[in-house]
Amino acid sequence: MKVIPVKKNNYPKYPTTNQVELDQMLLKHKPNKWQKTLIASTLSATIALGIYAPYMTALADAKLPASDKKLPDKTVSYGGEMPPSPNVLTEKQARKILENVLNEYGYKLKVSQKKYKALPVQKYFFEYTDDNKGSTVTTSHYKSKKTNISMVMDYYISKHNGKPKKPIRLEYVSYKFATKHNYSSQKQCAQQLNIAFQKYKKSINKAFYSEPVYLYGNKEDDDKKLAIQKKKYKKQIRQFLNYLKAENII
Amino acid sequence: MHFTLHITERCNLNCTYCFTKKKNVDMTIDIAQRAIDLAARLNKNGCGIAFFGGEPLLKKQLIIDTVNYAKETYPQKQFHYKITTNGILLDMDFIEFAVLNNIYIAISIDGNQKAHDSSRVDANGKASHKVVEAAAKMLLSKMPHAPVMCTVSTDNVHYFADSVDYLYNLKFKYIICTLDFSGDWNKKLLRILKNQYIKLSKFYYKHTINEDNFYLSPFEVKISSHIHKNSYCHERCELGKESVSVACNGYIYPCVQFVYEEEYKIGDIKIGIDPKKQQILFQDNESEKNTCTDCFIKDRCNHYCACVNKQTTGYINQVSPVLCAHERTILPIADKVAEKLYKKRNGMFIQKHYNEWYGVLSVAEENLNDI
């Protein structure tokens, strides 16, 4: 008998914890018997509030996002206050940052909107032009009619002065959140899209996301966290625009 | 760092696959106490102490004295204890002592009577199943979460799935199955093993769908090796770093398989552990195995287990071919059942594998149901 390395193996079709951290909604699936047991259900809720934290701090630490390991002080017992929802950039805030960064790079944002009633999503277009570079930038924004979730913003850039070399399609992802829980889907979606985008040969695509942060009411700390959150979002946009510049696309 | 105390080399059974070199040697209370002193010195908050053998219950009084010594001498340290016993000498007095003193008792049963008695016999060849089954029932009446250790050997592999079913019906919730890697496995037996694992995957699926609380290794471990991808390496052997074995004479070795092997001695209870020797062994074991460089499943495989490698090939960094065959067999089967349960978004599966609080929740739920 010999040691035989496995040359090919199907990647398992169930997620890793990393993926689940990004999709906390998965944990809503519970055994039926837990749901039937009132106190067990209460426990599952209160554990999230840190009731077991004194002897399971390490687990609690692991559960929270790396940057926010401390649970809020007020969340300790049955019927206590809920931990705050994670804070993410609103679409408006994200767009504002985008505008600012585009300004830094000599672009100006001009917005116009169109609606597609026949589609299962509403699609809004935002157009802006960069006269210095001779480019037109169009963004589109989908909104699901069914769930009212804002999904995707696409950005198309094309040369409007003269003939474009070839159409360039840029896709950016932004999320508006359906519930306070699915904040993490934004990063997951962006990352998955970025991986998928890499496979496109004919288009240049990039997905952005904003990191969720927890705000505990200490203004100084909260402001710092929000500033870092915005900085990280800006950084993603800058990196992408730098890449586009280096490739002589814009 | 956890300490395994080999308190006796004697055993009242003569299992066909046992790797322990049976000698008529016991640990003295002085050596056990010095081992506790060393464990206390090396661990700020306490650590795990395992009583190992031979059969540790041949030295019941030594266990009791050692636990009492640790409690009285180091009241501020939190030691937790574990014993793996063959169950022959287990009695209610000892179980009650164990419950009071935070001693976790694991019992070795290889499954149903046929499976168990094919290997686990005494020196005269007398079968032990009947006695052990009674001991198991007694243990579970006081420690409902006691684990059972089931060794799958070439002699009992045919009964593997039935054995797990038997153990589950005996009311064991933690069933830990390990292969006797040193056995004379061949292609035919490995095919039988595969079929047994396929049967067990159905068992795993059925009981998960039924929302039963249970732990069945190696399924849990293999599923976890994908789910906890980044942290899985921490679960594997960290030779001589996470735990050490103390022989009856007080010499320290990196793991149970190396006891009395002079070249693997890394210290003794008087002087302590030689960090250089410890590091050399650790690095030797951590080095990438040539045979596995291109293997697709190497990050999910147990090929870093120095004990198994040493036992089967004679070298810690030479991978056991049986282990390799086993991992190639179990992984796709475990993945398949996990995929099926995940696809169903089965609440039990998801909570068990993705919720860090599952242990607390399931125990709470059980206790509440008992009220």
Question: Tens digits of per-residue pLDDT, B312-336?
Answer: 888 888 899 999 999 999 999 999 9
pTM (predicted TM-score): 0.67
- Burial label, B123 (beta-carbon count in 10 A; 0-12, 13-18, 19+): exposed
Q: What is the pLDDT of residue B28?
A: 96
What interhelical angle do B347-354 and B321-343 show, nearest 10? 130
- Give the DSSP letter of residue A48: H
Task: Give how far A58 is from chain B: nearest CA, Å.
Answer: 10
Number of Cβ pairs closer than 8 Å across A and B?
123
Query: For residue A44, which residues of chain B lie inside 8 Å, CB to CB?
Result: 357, 361
Substitution target in B233, B355, B367, B371 with the highest count of A β-carbons within 10 Å is B355
Number of neighbouring beta carbons within 10 Å of residue B145 = 13
Residue B291 and residue A5 in contact, taking contact as beta carbons nearer than 8 Å: yes
Q: Six-digit token pair at A121? A: 């999503």
User: In this model, does residue B248 exceed pLDDT 60?
Assistant: yes
B102-111 confidence digits (pLDDT tens): 888 999 999 9
Which residues fall within 8 angstroms of residue B25, CB to CB, at 6 or more apart? B8, B9, B10, B248, B249
Question: Is-cis flag, bond preceding A83, omega within 30?
Answer: no
Which residues fall within 8 angstroms of residue A175, CB to CB, at 6 or more apart? A88, A91, A149, A150, A151, A185, A186, A189, A209
Task: Give how far B34 is from chain A: nearest CA, Å.
Answer: 29
Task: Give how far A190 is from chain B: nearest CA, Å.
Answer: 21
B78 interfacial to chain A (CB closer than 8 Å): no
Task: Give how far B59 is from chain A: nearest CA, Å.
Answer: 33
SS3 (DSSP) at A25: helix
Query: For residue B298, which residues of chain A lie inside 8 Å, CB to CB?
Result: 5
- Cα of first residue to Cα of last residue in chain B, in angstroms, is 38
Share of chain B above pLDDT 70, in %: 94
B337 interfacial to chain A (CB closer than 8 Å): no
Note whether ipTM > 0.90 here.
no
Locate all alpha helices (DSSP H) within chain A, ordered by sequence: 17-21, 32-36, 38-48, 53-63, 91-104, 185-199, 219-246
B321, B360, B368: residue with CB nearest A3? B321
Q: Nearest-CA residue of chain B relative to A2?
A: B321
Taking only residues 18 to 57 of chain A, the set having a beta carbon closer than 8 angstroms to any beta carbon of chain B reads 18, 20, 26-27, 29-34, 37, 39-40, 43-44, 47-48, 52, 56
More confident site: B244 or A165: B244
How far is CA B239 from each of CA A110, B15, B194, B235, B262, rounded to the nearest angstrom? 63, 26, 29, 11, 16
- Give the DSSP letter of residue B26: B
A3, A29, A43: residue with CB nearest B319? A3
The whole-angstrom separation of Cα B64 and Cα B269 is 20
More confident site: B234 or B363: B363
Which CB contacts under 8 angstroms, 24+ apart, belong to B244-247?
B244/B1, B244/B2, B244/B3, B244/B4, B244/B273, B245/B3, B245/B4, B245/B6, B245/B52, B246/B3, B246/B4, B246/B5, B246/B6, B246/B27, B246/B31, B246/B35, B247/B6, B247/B27
B209 interfacial to chain A (CB closer than 8 Å): no
- Confidence band of B369 (pLDDT split at 50, 70, 90): very low
More confident site: B285 or A59: B285
State whether A1 and B186 contact (CB < 8 Å).
Answer: yes
- The number of residues making up chain A comes to 250
Number of neighbouring beta carbons within 10 Å of residue B259 = 24
Phi, psi of A110 (to 5 degrees): -125, 130
Residue B292 and residue B301 in contact, taking contact as beta carbons nearer than 8 Å: yes
Substitution target in B78, B182, B214, B227 with the highest count of A β-carbons within 10 Å is B227
Number of neighbouring beta carbons within 10 Å of residue B88 = 17
Q: What is the pLDDT of residue A120?
A: 40
Highest-confidence range of A103-112, B115-124, B157-166, by mean pLDDT?
Answer: B157-166
Nearest to A48 by CA among A20, A34, A27, A19: A27
Residue A127 and residue A112 in contact, taking contact as beta carbons nearer than 8 Å: yes
Mean pLDDT of B123-129: 90
Encode chain A (250 residues) as per-residue pLDDT tens digits: 888 888 877 788 888 877 766 566 777 788 887 765 543 444 433 333 322 222 222 222 223 222 233 333 322 222 233 344 456 676 667 777 877 877 787 765 544 444 434 444 444 444 445 555 555 555 555 544 444 434 444 444 555 454 444 444 444 444 333 333 344 455 655 565 556 555 544 445 566 677 767 666 677 877 888 888 888 888 887 887 777 677 666 6
More confident site: B39 or A193: B39
State whether A7 and B346 contact (CB < 8 Å).
Answer: no
Query: For residue A53, which residues of chain B lie inside 8 Å, CB to CB?
Result: none
Q: What is the pLDDT of residue A183?
A: 43
Q: What is the pLDDT of residue B284?
A: 81
Taking only residues 55 to 94 of chain A, the set having a beta carbon closer than 8 angstroms to any beta carbon of chain B reads 56, 59, 62-63
B298-313 confidence digits (pLDDT tens): 888 888 888 888 888 8
Q: Nearest-CA residue of chain B relative to A13?
A: B339
A4, A10, A14: residue with CB nearest B338? A14
Helices (H) and strands (E) in chain B, counts: 14, 11
Taking only residues 292 to 321 of chain B, the set having a beta carbon closer than 8 angstroms to any beta carbon of chain A reads 292-298, 319-321
Q: What is the pLDDT of residue B353?
A: 87
Q: Quote the mean pLDDT of chain B.
A: 88
State whether A5 and B230 contact (CB < 8 Å).
Answer: no
Q: What is the pLDDT of residue B281?
A: 84
B188 interfacial to chain A (CB closer than 8 Å): no
Task: Give how far A61 is from chain B: nearest CA, Å.
Answer: 11
Mean pLDDT of B126-130: 93
Q: What is the pLDDT of residue B260?
A: 87
Number of neighbouring beta carbons within 10 Å of residue A125 = 16
Share of chain B above pLDDT 90, in %: 58
